[in-house]
């Protein structure tokens, strides 16, 4: 039943990326209504301190706050990101790597050709269907260009960033302080509830009591308010996604800084390579069911060519899954406290943004009551599962045989109905866009993304069974595609120059 709430004080628990993003967005939205926002963070419990790649959603978030690239990027050692190269996920000859770009307004000119050729190739016709050939952003990443066109190039571009997450947190804290956040540094000892089960106040270890009308739980995997206090159950995704651990190690940056993330599959997981202006961030995301922490660290160091180096490695545990409901009583969880899908497509910060934005909309539309709580929770759960299925697809379609980890991932029967339908659609040579629309999941990953992944992994009839091409008119016009991409690329500049010139 709808429950009226008189909202004067909102309390955010947690000062990681999620907490500071929330603080800025809620202040921006509701400060003029006289709502106060307080953020409590523990000086003794650190932030997760990883999470250095974004999707275009981070740009949208910073645009809402009217924060320009020239203001934040250099403070956070940030670089531009065209997308992600996936290396060694497939062992099909010719498909050892592929690029997953962000959506780009120029895709209309080339994406249809990828669709055309990948359909022919699925039918067993010998045509080029590797996605990189059809993507402007793949070409920009290969040339180490920034995804920022010259001013007279009249197309809109979406792109992501790489950044130092600790510095981004500090930057967002500074911005929140400028616009009126109350910041308290202390640890929550216990939480007081009202007789109706709502959260009343936080008791801190310095004896302060922080009362609020509404609470936002950004306390990371600890989920102090939503899971621990309000006892919202956690639904693990471990049957679908096996990885539960990560190791992070920095290495020296190349002088010619790449404009993409690289995700390379290793024996029991994959490694991210994220370029910042001052270092590479590297991290091995793996499953502790298949190897020990020591084995994983050794493999990561060997992969990075730093077996002998004494640079310290950080070991992290990941709790992969989602809460049953993100909003219960007078508390919404945002960030790791609400759930986490492993960082293969760098979606967590995007999820933080979308959770705050959707919560704020639902709260406002319900006139600061819980009128739209159930719809919001349903939407969050669907969003988690929509993203999860696309991540699972990477594992399900791998063709590696070098370890039980990869074989088990490929043979895993615990996949959702939606994912199973999408795979059937691909193998039955049906249209991906129609199936995504039928399943109502086109909002998570576009047909282009699905096509890039499925074609990029080389999920086609074997090369030796291919027949020769049909009439040329049936195939993609590769000369057109190449000329178009080359012509467009001339409107972009090197990443290094863009970074040195103080951003766009």
Ligand X SMILES: Cc1cc2nc3c(=O)[nH]c(=O)nc-3n(C[C@H](O)[C@H](O)[C@H](O)COP(=O)(O)OP(=O)(O)OC[C@H]3O[C@@H](n4cnc5c(N)ncnc54)[C@H](O)[C@@H]3O)c2cc1C
Find the part of the chain contacting ligand X (CB under 6 A) among 14-22, 230-238, 296-304, 465-473.
14-22
Contact 300, 169 (CB under 8 A): no
Q: How far apart are CA 308 and CA 273, in angstroms?
A: 20
How far is CA 197 from each of CA 191, 222, 380, rounded to the nearest angstrom?
11, 20, 23
Smaller CB distance to ligand X: residue 40 or 78?
A: 40
Find the part of the chain contacting ligand X (CB under 6 A) among 43-51, 380-388, 401-409, 442-450.
43-51
Smaller CB distance to ligand X: residue 198 or 244?
A: 244
> Hey, which residues between 64 and 123 contact ligand X (CB under 6 A)?
none
Both tokens of residue 195? 């007789």
Residue 170 annotated to the active site: no
Smaller CB distance to ligand X: residue 225 or 476?
A: 225
Smaller CB distance to ligand X: residue 352 or 362?
A: 352
Both tokens of residue 1? 């039943």
Smaller CB distance to ligand X: residue 132 or 229?
A: 229
Residue 52 lies near ligand X (rule: CB under 6 A) = yes
Q: How far apart are CA 193 and CA 331, in angstroms?
A: 12
Find the part of the chain contacting ligand X (CB under 6 A) among 39-47, 87-95, 147-155, 396-404.
39-47
Residue from the set 232, 265, 336, 457 that interacts with ligand X by CB under 6 A: 336
> Hey, which residues between 187 and 206 contact ligand X (CB under 6 A)?
187-188
Site mask for ligand X (CB under 6 A), range 142-181, x = bound: -----------------------x----------------
Residue 318 lies near ligand X (rule: CB under 6 A) = yes
Q: How far is the CB of 108 from ligand X (least distance, A)?
A: 28
Q: How far apart are CA 441 and CA 386, in angstroms?
A: 7
Residue from the set 48, 62, 265, 331 that interacts with ligand X by CB under 6 A: 48
Residue from the set 50, 140, 432, 457 that interacts with ligand X by CB under 6 A: 50
Q: How far is the CB of 220 from ligand X (least distance, A)?
A: 3
Q: How far apart are CA 372 and CA 374, in angstroms?
A: 6
Residue 18 lies near ligand X (rule: CB under 6 A) = yes
Residue 56 lies near ligand X (rule: CB under 6 A) = no
Count of residues touching ligand X (by CB under 6 A): 37
Find the part of the chain contacting ligand X (CB under 6 A) among 38-46, 62-70, 72-80, 115-123.
38-46
Residue 245 lies near ligand X (rule: CB under 6 A) = no
Both tokens of residue 246? 């990560």
Pairing type for strands 339-340 and 321-323 reads antiparallel
Strand partners, 247: 284, 315
Residue with tokens 């600890």: 222
- Active-site annotation holder among 59, 81, 319, 373: 81
Residue 17 lies near ligand X (rule: CB under 6 A) = yes
Compute φ and ψ for 218, nearest 5 degrees: -120, 40
Angle of the 417-427 helix axis to the 432-439 helix axis, nearest 10: 160
Residue from the set 7, 12, 16, 241 that interacts with ligand X by CB under 6 A: 16
Find the part of the chain contacting ligand X (CB under 6 A) among 48-56, 72-80, 101-109, 418-426.
48-56
Smaller CB distance to ligand X: residue 318 or 393?
A: 318
Q: How far apart are the first and last CA of the chain?
A: 49
Q: How far is the CB of 22 from ligand X (least distance, A)?
A: 9
Q: How far is the CB of 316 from ligand X (least distance, A)?
A: 5
For residues 106, 108, 110, 113, the Cα torsion angle rounded to the nearest 10 degrees is 170
Angle of the 348-365 helix axis to the 373-396 helix axis, nearest 10: 160
DSSP characters over 191-256:
EEE-TTS-EEEEEETTS-EEE-SEEEE--GGG-IIIIIIS---EEE-TTT----EEEEEEEPPPSS
Smaller CB distance to ligand X: residue 95 or 445?
A: 445
> Hey, which residues between 211 and 230 contact ligand X (CB under 6 A)?
218-220, 222, 224
Both tokens of residue 271? 């490694």
Q: Which of 43, 41, 42, 44 minimizes the C-alpha distance to 20?
A: 41
> What distance lies between CA 46 and its chain's CA centroid?
21
Contact 391, 450 (CB under 8 A): no
Q: How far is the CB of 459 from ligand X (least distance, A)?
A: 26
Find the largest Cα–Cα distance for the chain.
79
Residue 266 lies near ligand X (rule: CB under 6 A) = no
Smaller CB distance to ligand X: residue 147 or 335?
A: 335
Strand partners, 160: 81
Residue 14 lies near ligand X (rule: CB under 6 A) = yes
Residue from the set 249, 346, 380, 459 that interacts with ligand X by CB under 6 A: 346
Contact 400, 270 (CB under 8 A): no
Q: How far apart are CA 434 and CA 437, in angstroms?
A: 5
Residues marked as catalytic: 81
Residues of this chain that interact with ligand X (CB under 6 A) are 13-19, 40-42, 45, 47-48, 50-54, 165, 187-188, 218-220, 222, 224, 246, 283, 316, 318, 335-337, 343, 346, 348-349
């Amino acid at each position: 039943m709808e429950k009226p709430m008189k909202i004067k004080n909102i309390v955010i628990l947690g000062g990681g990326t999620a907490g500071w993003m929330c603080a800025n967005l809620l202040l921006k939205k509701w400060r003029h209504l006289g709502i106060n926002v307080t953020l409590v963070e523990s000086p003794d419990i650190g932030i997760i301190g990883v999470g250095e790649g974004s999707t275009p959603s981070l740009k949208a978030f910073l645009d809402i706050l009217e924060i320009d690239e020239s203001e934040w990027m250099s403070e956070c050692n940030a670089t531009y990101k065209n997308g992600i190269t996936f290396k060694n996920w497939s062992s099909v000859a010719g498909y050892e790597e592929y690029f997953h770009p962000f959506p780009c307004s120029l895709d209309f000119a080339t994406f249809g050709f990828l669709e055309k050729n990948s359909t022919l190739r699925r039918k067993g016709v010998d045509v080029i269907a590797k996605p990189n050939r059809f993507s402007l952003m793949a070409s920009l990443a290969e040339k180490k260009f920034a995804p920022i066109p010259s001013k007279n190039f009249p197309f809109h571009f979406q792109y992501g960033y790489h950044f130092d997450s600790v510095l981004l947190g500090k930057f967002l804290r500074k911005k929140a302080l400028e616009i009126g956040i109350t910041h308290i540094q202390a640890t929550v000892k216990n939480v007081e509830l009202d007789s109706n089960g709502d959260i009343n106040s936080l008791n801190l270890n310095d004896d302060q009591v922080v009362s609020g009308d509404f609470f936002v739980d950004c306390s990371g995997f600890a989920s102090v308010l939503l899971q621990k206090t309000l006892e919202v159950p956690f639904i693990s995704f471990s049957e679908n996604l096996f990885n539960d651990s990560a190791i992070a190690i920095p290495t020296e940056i190349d002088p010619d800084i790449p404009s993409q993330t690289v995700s390379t599959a290793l024996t029991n997981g994959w490694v991210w390579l994220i370029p910042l202006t001052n270092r590479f961030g590297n991290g091995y995301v793996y499953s502790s069911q298949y190897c020990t922490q020591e084995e994983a660290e050794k493999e990561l160091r060997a992969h990075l060519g730093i077996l002998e180096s004494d640079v310290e490695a950080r070991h992290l545990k990941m709790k992969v899954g989602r809460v049953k409901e993100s909003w219960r009583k007078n508390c919404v969880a945002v960030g790791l406290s609400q759930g986490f899908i492993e960082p293969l497509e760098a979606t967590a910060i995007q999820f933080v943004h979308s959770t705050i934005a959707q919560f704020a909309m639902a709260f406002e539309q319900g006139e600061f009551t819980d009128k739209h709580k159930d719809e919001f929770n349903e939407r969050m759960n669907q969003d988690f599962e929509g993203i999860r299925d696309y991540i699972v697809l990477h594992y399900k379609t791998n063709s590696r045989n070098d370890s039980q980890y990869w074989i088990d991932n490929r043979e895993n029967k615990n996949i959702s109905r939606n994912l199973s339908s999408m795979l059937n659609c691909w193998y039955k040579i049906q249209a991906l866009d129609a199936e995504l629309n039928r399943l109502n999941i086109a909002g998570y990953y576009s047909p282009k993304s699905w096509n890039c992944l499925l074609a990029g992994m080389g999920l086609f009839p074997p090369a030796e069974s291919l027949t020769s091409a049909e009439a040329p008119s049936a195939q993609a016009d590769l000369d057109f595609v190449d000329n178009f991409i080359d012509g467009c690329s001339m409107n972009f500049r090197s990443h290094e120059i863009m970074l040195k010139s103080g951003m766009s």
